[in-house]
Structure 1
Amino acid sequence: MSSSRERILDSFEDALIRDGERAATMEAVAAAADVSKGGLLYHFPSKEALVDALAERLRGLAERDREIMVSAPDGAARYYVRTSVFEDSALDRALVSMARLAQQNHPTAKASLAEIQERWLDALESQLGDRTTARAVKLLGDGLYYDAAFFASADTGRTSADDIEELLGVVDLIVAGRPLR
């Protein structure tokens, strides 16, 4: 069983994803986590403390993902695109919840997302040797993720393994054509 602190943070994340920042009140989070408001305040004395903890969670998950990416046997570029499919993982949930905050111009959310994006781009550039090529690969993966996270429905389903393989072929072409400058 997860700790009260983790349940509270999970509930905050769920509320942001499902209902947005305005609905993610301290009271709603406490009720969803099945803790008293005092119990919530013990762990997170303010909503800003919840945001800071969520940002820290996201940074940790993204850093683990970046470490896997840089050591991926088939390369960082293929890894980035191959894993750019929304799967409702802990990383996906943290990204979407932080994006909900960033949509409301929350400075911590915007800074955290910018930092993570820059770290992923740096990892791609390190492997590819060129920032423009790295950006092309990153934008391909980001577009795939955005499409899967925000537009896939029960009618259209998820991106198929064949679709991913076709896109990885494009990645191979981009990587083989480097540098672009």
Structure 2
Amino acid sequence: MTRPTAKERILDSYEEILIEQGPGGITLEAVAAHAGVSKGGLLYHFGSKEALVDGLMERLATLSEEDLEQARSAPEGVVSWYLRTAITDVTQRKPLHRTTMATLRIMLNEPRVSEVVQVYNQKVHDLISEHVDDPLTAELVILVGDGLYLRAALGRDDASPLLNRIDEIVTRIQH
């Protein structure tokens, strides 16, 4: 496994501070210290707090595209994959989940963040709609996925047992 670059460590630290403390905990000094780099090293990669937000949004876009690509090639099908990963991305602390949580912490203060999230949400909607004939059923699939994700993200113990019932959930939604 390759060691993360300084730029990746800085973004990882930015995410972690956002998740743990929210936007109020973000200073360039705090991010640099957490990442184990000097403030000058941080500024070399990210010249401002706005550049950190841009870096987070680039990471979100990249991880989201990778996620959509995995969904398209999933042997169990897009819908089952979508619902299953709504839980497993959280319980396994996947990078997209961490980036999503950090993004949610700054969304209210950063309108451009909402735009990036809306683009990804539309791509998810389009993908599910390609694989579900009825538009209302497609919306229901997305709502169930959102609900499973939220349950898991909130640490509810009743999300994980549903993994064994994903096929049943898909059948009920689509019939």
TM-score (norm 1): 0.88
Determine the structure 2 residue equivalent to 1:106.
110
Separation of aligned partners in 1, 2:106 and 2:114: 8
Q: What is the rounded CA distance, in whole Å, between the counterparts of 1:105 and 1:133 in structure 2?
A: 33
Partner residue in 2 for 1:89: 94
Give the drift of 1:157: 7.4
1 CA distance for matches of 2:120 and 2:37?
31
Provide the aligned length of Structure 1 versus Structure 2: 170
Distance 2:76 2:8 in 1: 34
Judge which range, 11-20 or 130-139, deviates more: 130-139
What residue is the counterpart of 1:20 in the other structure?
22
Name the amino acid aligned to 2:73. S
Corresponding residue of 1:139:
143
Please show how residues 66-77 of structure 1 align to structure 2 within 5 Å: 66-77=68-79
Post-superposition Cα deviations, 1:76-128, rounded to whole Å, max 9, x if no partner, equal 111100111112111110111111111x3311221111111111111000111
Corresponding residue for 2:55? 53
Runs of 4+ in 1 over 3 A off after TM superposition: none
Q: Which residue of structure 2 aligns with residue 168 of structure 1?
A: 167
Contact 2:80 2:166 in 1 (8 A): no
Which residue matches 1:5?
A: 7
Q: Conserved in 2, the CA contact under 8 Å of 1:51 and 1:108? A: no
Residue matched to 1:125: 129
Superposition RMSD on alpha carbons, in Å? 1.5
Give the Cα–Cα distance (whole angstroms) in 2 for the partners of residues 73 and 145 of structure 1. Answer: 21
Cα contact 2:151–2:159 (8 A) shared by 1: no
Q: How far 1:158 moved relative to its partner? A: 5.8
Instruction: Quote the offset at 1:129 in angstroms.
Output: 2.7
More helix by share: 2
Residues in 2 aligned to 1:76 and 1:171: alpha-carbon distance in whole angstroms: 11
List per-residue Cα deviations over 1:120-143 (Å, max 9, x = no partner).
111000111333211100110111
Identify if the C-alpha distance between structure 1 residues 172 and 157 changes in structure 2 by more than 3 Å, giving closer, same or farther.
closer
* One-letter code aligned to 2:167: L
Contact 1:82 1:168 in 2 (8 A): no
Instruction: Give yes or no for contact 1:128–1:134 (8 Å, CA) kept in 2.
Output: yes
CA distance in 2, matches of 1:18, 1:158: 23
Counterparts of 1:75 and 1:61, CA distance in 2: 20
